Chain A
């Protein structure tokens, strides 16, 4: 029985038990409903063939109706309603039977905010019709007039943030980053609570008597990760089927290679953060404590996401975008967006993968050690430093006094000074980064203030 086999058994149990749980089924169902609704509903509401109702009251140029229908594009139909009485027209407008009332060919009445598109259309038609009427009155040949005034079709096109890039590319990059962030947070937290549950139910001692700590933690991370991938895949498949069936929303033209990269970065980002969550989870015995211990990881993730968002929004080929997409902790949040925007040099993505893999290897060793040391020590939440340094899994009888002794022995004055200095330096660096990215003093103050708060908290602990 190798550790690998055992790890796979652990992963299989995670998948089987979780897939069976009601919370998992409900959340999958909810995700499916939301995604399918997001794809189908706009299609149902917007059949692509808009019908607008325009009311006409009083005298209007006689060619207005003809000009108006000649100017509308193919997917818009305009119905004209004529009202002899202004009051009747306004009542129809108030009842929302019509979108717009044209009064005497020179006043447009709206129920609420004017619709710019319709306004332009009707105004244009009024102009043309009136000019036609005047031209005819001054004796111009009607054919000449018609030729002169034949409508000009004007189309709209959304362009992307960069030359050679479509708006769809931008939205793909945005959606993917959000999905990655959410997935890492959700499945990372499942690892966290899973570890704490094993510790609080004490089953972990039964397991560790047979399975090495690394296989147990690794199997859990793999199992939950595969389950997450499955859940995401099912949701994506549902979205694809729904959009094919309804043919409503234009799915951005995502290329296969971009999708493959998203998959790679989900795996890397999830593995990286799941290891951290697993290690931190082993420090706590109760779920409430675990949330407190692991809270900062969530902040780091969200801060990393925003930094990447701003840097890429600024310039996806700029220095900060490059730095963030190479730095392992932020690479999973920054690199997929840049890849979708085709803003990477050929060497950048492989290098980022290598760096992240290296960080992952380090984290596996780190998490394995902390987890192995901490997971049998129940009771008060352990501190990361104690879990790292301790060679001990002390028996329960001696726990309190030992914990106290250890805390006092590690909380040396030098450690305090070094820790405080490191925090302050990190704050200054972060502030500089934010300033360089945004050029905004107020935003730069945020990390600086966070660092100050952290330093204060460290000092209070002593």
Chain B
């Protein structure tokens, strides 16, 4: 388990991390969300000792992270980077060796991932000869070549086409199933909602929401009701605490309290209307995010 405990990082007048506290569990995907400049990259760099915290600590399996443990971590920085003129396989094996693997082990893992990601054919090419997409794949292998227990990815989905995105999502799920702790940042909330068991939302260096995504959604006092129907628009005013979010001809989205009685709601729709679809759900991650960040 990776834990941030009251981590504080100040840059001169700006506080990038402000008593930042959260955890990422093994075997689960944790989405790390927040607007630009919220402190996501700073927090990730702190895991790898790329900057020193002013207060608080980052713990791995219960004890503060020390240098030697980081060879069991995998990291894909936001600024992708590899030696442009080094050959793909040699470079990956080198990065594996830096993590204490023998060249044989590192080579085996490298080959497996290159094969899996469909770039095995370019193993002897120089990195700068690869297409952008293939460079991204190689960059991912660079984070995986030491078979990490903790994987930290800064915007892994940025710049990927839909097919590559789906492949990346599959891969992260697969890694989590094998017990790896996966923490990644993203701005694609729909994707995170589909993929992640846990989310951490951070704003101005402070954690504003963190935990199991389904629990967080269930714990909100509101529910969202989506209704499609044929016929005249119904009147919602006689139900207490109903807020109309969107209302177009034939489709309505309502925000209602969690304890609203659904039959009463449905009763409003009877009459000269035919209900074609009805859903009653907790708010989406996007709703949670907007509410938590408060903008």
Contacts and interface: CB of A to CB of B under 8 A. Distances in A.
Contact of B95 (A21, A198, A210): A210
Interface stretch (B34-42, B211-219, B261-269): B34-42
A87 interface: no
B11 A210 contact: no
Looking at A209, A393, A406, the one whose CB has the most chain B CB atoms below 10 A away is A209
A206 B68 CA distance: 16
B51 interface: yes
A456 interface: no
Contacts of A392: 10-12, 51
B184 interface: no
Interface residues of B, number: 41
B84 interface: yes
Nearest to A2: B68
B67 A209 contact: no
Interface of A: 1-3, 5-6, 9-10, 13, 17, 21, 198, 201-212, 376, 378, 391-398, 401-402, 405-406, 409
B60 interface: no
Given A205-B81, A209-B70, A210-B95, A393 B16 contact: no
A402 B11 contact: yes
B39 to A, nearest CB: 7
B193 interface: no
Nearest to B101: A1
A203 B41 contact: no
22 contacts: A1-B71, A1-B99, A10-B98, A17-B86, A201-B84, A204-B81, A205-B77, A205-B81, A209-B48, A209-B73, A210-B71, A212-B67, A376-B50, A378-B79, A392-B12, A393-B45, A394-B11, A394-B14, A394-B16, A396-B79, A398-B16, A402-B14
A401 B100 CA distance: 40
Contacts of B88: none
A13 B36 CA distance: 37
Contact of A210 (B51, B80, B99): B99
B94 A9 contact: yes
A212 B71 CA distance: 11
B142 interface: yes
Contacts of B86: 17
Contacts of A406: 12
Contacts, number: 101
Contacts of A204: 81
Looking at B39, B41, B50, the one whose CB has the most chain A CB atoms below 10 A away is B50
Contacts of A209: 48-50, 70, 73, 75, 77
Nearest to A202: B81
A206 B37 contact: no
B169 to A, nearest CB: 23
Nearest to A401: B14
A398 B80 contact: no
Contacts of B68: 1-2
Interface in B70-108: 70-71, 73, 75, 77, 79-86, 94-95, 97-100
A460 B39 CA distance: 36
Given A13-B94, A206-B81, A209-B75, A397 B36 contact: yes
B112 interface: no
Nearest to B67: A212
B131 interface: no
B52 A206 contact: no
A155 to B, nearest CB: 59
B13 interface: yes
B95 A206 contact: yes
A378 B50 CA distance: 14
Contacts of B39: 395
A53 to B, nearest CB: 59
Nearest to B37: A397
Nearest to A199: B81
A203 B95 CA distance: 11
A405 B13 CA distance: 8
B96 to A, nearest CB: 10
A409 B12 CA distance: 10
B100 A1 contact: yes
Contacts of A210: 70-71, 95, 98-99, 146
Nearest to B97: A9
Interface string B55-75: 000000000000110110101
Nearest to B84: A201
Nearest to B99: A210
Looking at A2, A378, A392, the one whose CB has the most chain B CB atoms below 10 A away is A392
Contacts of B54: 391
Contact of B12 (A3, A21, A393, A405): A405
A80 B49 CA distance: 86
In the A-B complex, the 4 residue pairs with the smallest Cβ-Cβ separation, listed nearest first, are A202-B81, A1-B100, A209-B48, A203-B81
B98 A6 contact: yes
A393 B51 CA distance: 6
Contact of B52 (A208, A391, A395): A391
